[in-house]
Structure 1
Amino acid sequence: MSWREVMGGGVPRIAESPLESARFGRPVERLTVPAGSGSPFPAVREAVLGSRADVIVLRYPAEHVGWFAELTALGRTAVFADSLTYWRLRAGRGRAPEPPGDLQPTDRVTPAAVRESVSDIFAAYRNHYLANPLFDGAEALAGYREWALRSASEGRCVALREWTPPAAPAERLPSAAPPAGDRHPAAARDGILALATLADDDERTEILLAGVVSRAWGRGLYAHLLAAVEGRALARGAREVVISTQGHNTGVQRAWARYGFEPALTFLTVHLVRSRLLRGRRR
């Protein structure tokens, strides 16, 4: 759920989710209660009771601590699916590491590289879909790949590549074919080591997905990825960078704190499922 959605203000909003419905093979709707919208539980109740979806993915500010008990009385099974924590950084105040000479940020990433990187980075990520016995983890990962591909196709991504300068060309006859390095400079690079997909508005850059591929773990590259995103945000005049993750993902939140991000908001995620669909199912 994007920063714009959680900070949208106004009343709770319910809408069909055609991509999730197609992916999981059953009707799914999203019900979002923005921050600062007061305590509109009657509006939430009305939206839930009027929905024909098999699953409603509800997200609401965590300060509404009494809502979960009320959700269990609306004729559906309420499946708690963790929380989303949002962090923010004032652009230009990040504690960026010294840039190493063997890394090169880029926004040009092939679809195949995006798919491979996201599959590797998020293979073990425990997202909210995994709380629901009706949802398949492999399909959820496919959704992450589709999401990343949309961002990358629009140039809204930052990747880190390991770059090695090509060797000096050997002397050759004028009729000889040029070496591969001359025809394809990218051949000197050793693939994607880290990837972040982004959303932009006038004031901020939001990091949607971000991580380091498994073969590059332990090299401190995540901070360099954050620095590349912050640099991009500054270059286009954005004032802040925001990011979110599941509440249980404390390791990456420690990395954000070290870099200079500060916690901003927490939202709870609940899947409201037609009870008959869960009978006999186990996660």
Structure 2
Amino acid sequence: MAWRHLMAAPTVPAAVAEASARESARFGCSIERLTVPAEGGPAFPPVREAVLASAADVVILRYPAERVDWFAKLLTLGRTAVLADSLVYWRLPVGRGRAARSRADLRWSPLGDPAVAESLVLDIFAGYAGHYLANPLFDPAAATAGYAEWARGSAAEGVCLALYQTGEGEPRAVGLATVEDDGPCTEILLAGIVSAAQGRGLYAYLLAAVEERARARGAGEIVISTQGHHTRVQRAWSRYGFEPVRTFLTVHLVRPGLLPQA
């Protein structure tokens, strides 16, 4: 979910569950998304009415974590409420990053080949524990395929970059980041280092590549997010200079009778 959708308040506070055609096709059930922004979003009653009015198999609800009383209320709406972790956002003013010392064997460049982007993401995000894994209706393999589709689209649209390492032979891609530019903000959507190169301090160079790109286009800030339990990558963000700014909860509201019985 894009940062602007989570932060921007609607002109008239409302709650609307919108169909997610791609997720519905991917997981073989009807899915709607309902997002409550951090500032100026609706109170609980409109959210309750939107959930009650939905005929979708699953409503994926995302709302600010400080609304701590909402989850208990969600349990009364006749659906099974599956707590699907939290989404933590971090932010960095462009130019404030603590980049590592430059290395002659590392460089970055835009990645426009969808097939290469897909290959990198399938390696980087193999076994990634995203919010889909909380729901037994969702096939983990289909979730991973969704990340690959996302990366392919980013490469085709020119908003994907790769980190390359030189050595013997041709430079090889060791990291990938997909981004979304929205005015003065650049959001990192997918980012990581391939499994064979992890643990070598390369992730900071990938962040530096995104920051360099953002600076070149005149962006003022970079934002990035992950599930709350992914503390290792959040420590890397902190070392680079990012600071945490918001947390949202993700809840899957499943129509009765769809979840397997224990």
Structure 2 residue identity aligned to 1:37: G
CA offset digits 1:54-73 (Å, max 9, x no partner):
00000000000000000000
| 2:33 aligned residue | 30
Whole-Å separation in 1 of the counterparts to 2:224 and 2:16 = 22
1:178-257 map, 5 Å: 188-257=169-238
Q: Which residue is equivalent to 1:63?
A: 66
Q: Name segments (4+ residues, structure 1) moved above 6 Å.
A: none
In the alignment, what sits opposite 1:276?
Answer: 257
Q: Over the residues paired in the alignment, what is the CA RMSD in angstroms?
A: 1.3
1:147-199 superposed Cα distances (whole Å, 9 cap, x missing partner): 1111111110121112359xxxxxxxxxxxxxxxxxxxxxx533210000000
Q: Give CA-to-partner distance per residue, 1:233-275, whole Å, 9 cap, x none.
A: 0000000000000000000000000000000000000000012
> Are 2:240 and 1:259 equivalent residues in the alignment?
yes
Residue 96 of structure 1: aligned partner: 99
Task: Give me the identity figure in percent.
Answer: 61
3-state DSSP of counterpart to 2:224: strand
Structure 1: state its 5+ residue gaps: 166-187
Q: Pick the aligned partner of 1:84 from 72, 78, 87.
A: 87
- TM-score with structure 2 length normalisation? 0.96
Shift of 1:13: 3.4
Q: State how 1:137-148 maps to structure 2 within 5 Å.
A: 137-148=140-151
Contact persistence 1:157–1:195 (CA under 8 A) = yes
The structure number with the bigger radius of gyration is 1
CA contact (8 A) 1:200 1:206 kept: yes
Rounded Cα–Cα distance in structure 2 between residues aligned with 1:24 and 1:160: 32
Asked if the contact 1:39/1:64 (under 8 Å) is kept, the reply is: no
- For the Cα contact (< 8 Å) 1:96–1:224, is it kept in 2? yes
| Larger CA deviation: 205-214 vs 146-155 | 146-155
Match of 1:168 in 2: none
Aligned-residue offset at 1:124 = 1.9
Alignment match of 1:21 (pick from 20, 24, 29): 24
Q: TM-score, normalised by structure 1?
A: 0.89
Count of aligned pairs between the two proteins: 259
Is the alpha carbon distance of 1:279 and 1:214 closer, same or farther for their aligned partners in structure 2, counting shifts above 3 Å? closer
* CA distance 1:39–1:241, shift in 2 (3 Å): same
Specify the alignment match of 1:4 in structure 2.
4
* Secondary structure class of the residue paired with 2:239: helix
In the TM superposition, residue 39 of structure 1 has moved relative to its aligned partner by: 5.5
In structure 2, the residue corresponding to 1:13 is in which secondary structure? Answer: coil
Instruction: Check whether the contact 2:26–2:142 (CA below 8 A) recurs between aligned residues.
Output: yes
- What SS class does the counterpart of residue 277 from structure 1 fall into? coil
**Structure 1 counterpart SS, 2:22:** helix
